[in-house]
């Protein structure tokens, strides 16, 4: 290893992501699924799909494990789309573990 300082700094930068919440405050009504995916940088899992009178409604879930001070928590949000445009998001759960 030629430069251990660079390796250590790189490790710290990558591990800092474990401290960040899902950035839902950056989401706005009207975004597409791809735009939301680019912001949250986590896999969106489709939780439901319904079509009524030609209107398609989808709900995706996104979750992330966050560690702070030795306490881990699992954040989970539901993100709602109508005709492939985001209409709202809501926190489903946040579970803590040690």
| pLDDT tens figures, 10-27 | 555 445 455 577 888 899
The answer, yes or no, to whether residue 48 has pLDDT greater than 90, is yes
Distance (Å, rounded) from C-alpha 80 to C-alpha 52?
15
Q: Which residue has the tokens 């079509």?
A: 51
Q: Which residues pair with 25 in a beta bridge?
A: none
First and final C-alpha spacing in the chain: 35
Q: Specify the CATH number for the domain of residue 65.
A: 3.30.1450
What range does the domain containing 58 cover? 4-97
Q: What is the average pLDDT across 72-78?
A: 85
pLDDT at residue 9, as a whole number: 56
Q: pTM of this prediction?
A: 0.73
Structural tokens at position 26: 């950056």
How many domains are contained in the chain?
Answer: 1
Distance between CA 9 and CA 15 in Å, rounded? 10
pLDDT above 90 for 66: no
Radius of gyration of the chain, Cα coordinates, nearest whole angstrom: 17
Average pLDDT for 75-92 = 92
């Amino acid at each position: 290893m030629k430069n251990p300082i660079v390796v250590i700094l790189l490790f710290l930068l990558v591990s800092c992501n474990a401290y960040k919440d899902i950035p839902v405050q950056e989401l706005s009504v009207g975004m597409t699924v791809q735009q939301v995916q680019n912001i949250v940088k986590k896999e969106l899992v489709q939780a439901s799909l319904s079509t009524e009178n030609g209107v398609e409604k989808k709900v995706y879930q996104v979750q992330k494990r966050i560690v702070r001070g030795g306490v881990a928590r699992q954040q989970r949000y539901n993100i709602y789309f109508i005709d492939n445009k985001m209409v709202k998001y809501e926190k489903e759960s946040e579970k803590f573990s040690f």
